[in-house]
Amino acid sequence: MAVDFIALDWETANGSRGSACAVGLVEVRAGAVVDSWSSLMRPPDLYGSFDLRNTAVHGLCAKDVADAPRFEELWPSIEARLLGSTVIAHNAQFDLGVVQDATWGASIGCPRLRYGCTLLLARRHYDLPSYTLDVVAEAAGVRLDRHHDALSDALAAAEILLAITQDVGADSVEEVFEVHGLTLGWSRDPDGRPCRVQGRSRWERTAVGEIGSVAPTLW
């Protein structure tokens, strides 16, 4: 199975997407997780303050990253992992937005990345009351130990994609999105295009019942 991609998750210090304070990356090759990496970081100075609302979500504050490398110090190694791969994230518009805004805030060139969104994919694959990462992970039978920890969330996104890929019998990332009537996107304004719906899904969505049973429903 030639399912190759990099799953990405960021945590941010405040309401600005450029305020990256933690990152998680999970590399998948031939349908298996082969590597993972994460780091705390100090956000670019332009977005450096921590907001209590963000801290309430992920538990990080300024003192936690005080001795961490700056975003611009870590970016070359992050970029090297992302380039040449399909980047996967849950609500990818946000995570690719972090790349764009943080690189801009650090006066670094922003790469053009091919990407797919497991949030859009899950909406086509499952019939759920919510499509937050924790709810989708449960529906996919994926363990999510520490929600809003960057590495834990990246691993969950990777395993959700692998679970859906196995469900539909796809042999590539492109195929699993195509089965669900979705097209992969390209990041970076002004020449980017979103991961988006391009046609009807050929998949019968599955609904999780009140006692956890799964029943097919037409999409």
Tell me how far apart the alpha carbons of residues 89 and 184 are, in angstroms, rounded to a whole number: 12
Instruction: Return mean pLDDT, the chain.
Output: 92
Is pTM beyond 0.85? Reply is yes
Q: Which residue has the tokens 């972090």?
A: 98
The DSSP code for 192 is: -
Give the tens place of pLDDT for each residue, 153-203: 999 999 999 999 999 999 999 999 999 999 999 997 677 899 999 999 999
Q: Which residue has the tokens 């539909």?
A: 168
Predicted pLDDT at 58: 98
- At position 198, the amino acid (one-letter code) is Q
- For the domain 5-216, what is the CATH superfamily, name and number? Ribonuclease H-like superfamily/Ribonuclease H (3.30.420.10)
Supply the DSSP string of 173-190, one letter for each residue: HHHHHHHTTEE-EE-STT
Predicted pLDDT at 217: 34
